[in-house]
Amino acid sequence: MSRDAAPELLDFRPQVALASLSGEADAEWARASSEYAGAAVLGGVALDEATREAARELVARDRSEFLPADPVAFVDEQLAALSDTPLQAGFNVRTTELPPLGSVAAVCHDRDAFVEINAHCRQEEMCAAGVGETLLRSPDRLRAQVDTAAETGATVSVKVRAEVDGVDLPALAERIEAAGADAVHVDAMDTESVVGDVSAATDLFVIANNEVRDRASVREYLNYGADAVSVGRPSNEPAVLERVSDATTAWFAEGVES
């Protein structure tokens, strides 16, 4: 997508996002690395009983998950805690039901944040509940989620994963764009070129993720047409973030694809 065409909330600098880490990516986590990024995706958070039960099962086997008593209030409180930072905030969510998604999307809209629908998680418990990468194989359900979130006026991103059997990611990106999505956050896995395929197929704002660590990885994704890159696990490592931030800023300053 042309940066001139991007929704205002996605016009962040530097074009580096901190990617959500379930049970870890809260306002404190984002604030700690805010000097290196232009955006931070908090979460993920489970919104309905099916996904909350899956989250409880994950916690039982020693994985980190957010399980606040009131997920909608939690999203509001976390976004409010970042109101005095220069970061563009987003919130990654998982749900099988549409009403809580609409409630959270409305909060994101009111807080000048974007909502990110999780069609990415591959944990068995979440997939069994019908969310995460399961949504990639259920495009009608994913489109319904995008439509519900977009109806609130919120800026909508969808986190997706490449290399899922039977899923044509560029075609799916076209469908979620038609449903009202503004952005797609692509975990490229080992197929970096899929970022180029998605970028060519849509006008979505494309955030590229997976092994973004240095100048070479940044330039590869940006040359494929990504509008921004994101950093996941090393998001609390200043040395990695500084390399990524410097490389991203330099690439856009050059104004050339090389």
pLDDT level of residue 83 (50, 70, 90 thresholds): very high
Total domains in the chain come to 1
Residue 258 confidence (pLDDT): 40
Distance, CA of 80 to chain centre = 19
Average pLDDT along the chain: 94
Residue 3's pLDDT is 37
Query: Which phi-psi region, left, alpha or beta, contains residue 238 (left: φ > 0; alpha: ψ -120 to 50)?
Result: alpha
List pLDDT tens digits, range 17-72: 999 888 999 999 999 999 999 999 999 999 999 999 999 999 999 999 999 999 99
What is the average per-residue pLDDT within 188-205? Answer: 95
Which structural domain, as residue segments, surrounds residue 159? 3-254
Q: Is the dihedral of CA 147, 221, 124, 164 positive or negative?
A: positive
Please report the pLDDT score of residue 6 as a whole number: 55
In this structure, what token pair is assigned to residue 5?
């065409």
Looking at the chain, how many residues does it have? 258
Residue 91 has pLDDT above 80, yes or no: yes
User: What global pTM score does this model have?
Assistant: 0.95
Interatomic CA distance for residues 227 and 39, integer angstroms: 13
Is a pLDDT exceeding 50 seen at residue 171? yes
| Max intra-chain CA distance, the chain | 49
- Output helix, strand, coil percentages for the chain, rounded to the nearest 5: 50, 20, 35
Given a cut of 60, is residue 256 above it in pLDDT?
no
Q: Nearest to residue 40, comparing CAs of 253, 241, 252?
A: 241
CB 18 within 8 A of CB 212: no
Tell me the average pLDDT across 142-150: 98
Alpha helices in the chain (DSSP H): 27-32, 49-60, 71-80, 98-110, 124-129, 139-150, 169-179, 194-201, 215-223, 238-254
For the cut 90, the answer to whether the pLDDT of residue 4 exceeds it is: no
| CATH code at position 248 | 3.20.20.70
Report pLDDT for 255: 74
